[in-house]
Amino acid sequence: CSRASCAEKILTEWLTDQPEDVAIRLLYASSLQQRGRLQDAVGSYQAALDAHPDNVGALNNLAWVYHELGDRERALRLAERAYQLAPERGEVVDTYGWLLLSRDKKSALSYLRQAAQLMPDSLDVQFHLARALYENGKTSDAVSLLTEILAAEPAGFSEREKAQALLDGLRGGG
């Protein structure tokens, strides 16, 4: 078997025998999410939440999966709950702010500023802030931040193409 399929088989066997092992369930759900198996990830995150309803990591990640699946209402509710439980965690603040952006641009900007302060080295979080700046009419601030982001080393920056496209558009080059 391939490395991924063998690992999945081991994890599913473990979880069958140890269904209360939330840490392994979350690891498995994250793996499913990263591989694009979003419906399977939903089931695994939900099982973790059934065992531990206030698990912030499960709430936050499940919110993101629902966002990717297009269930914006459920995603936002879960992200807000995660934020209420852990307002000091940058990744949670970022998820909540990013999901809120389509509904309440001004509030989202506030949350994304907070997330950017909590996670100054995350280019993805900084991009989310730049997008919120743009959405709130702060174009020059967005251009400055996007320029700074794109000049940085892009290792692990999943939103690079979107950041470049936004910057080009703001500069009139796209």
Q: Are 61 and 33 in contact (CB under 8 A)?
A: yes
pLDDT tens-digit profile of 49-83?
999 999 999 999 999 999 999 999 999 999 999 99
- Return the amino acid letter for 19: P
Q: Which of 64, 68, 25 is nearest to 45 (CA)?
A: 25
pLDDT tens-digit profile of 19-55?
777 888 899 999 899 989 999 999 999 999 999 999 9
Average pLDDT over residues 134-158: 90
Average pLDDT over residues 152-170: 87
Please compute Rg for the chain using Cα positions.
18
Could you give the 3-state DSSP secondary structure of residue 21?
A: coil
CB atoms near residue 33 (< 10 Å)? 20
Helix axes 56-69, 38-51, angle to 10 degrees: 150
Rounded distance between C-alpha atoms, residue 67 and residue 50, angstroms: 20
What pLDDT band is residue 154 in, cutting at 50, 70 and 90?
low
pLDDT given for residue 158 in this prediction: 86
pLDDT given for residue 22 in this prediction: 86
Could you give the 3-state DSSP secondary structure of residue 54?
A: coil
Structural tokens at position 71: 């269930």
pLDDT tens-digit profile of 96-137?
999 999 999 999 999 999 999 999 999 999 999 999 999 999
Average pLDDT over residues 7-16: 77
Rounded distance between C-alpha atoms, residue 96 and residue 16, angstroms: 33
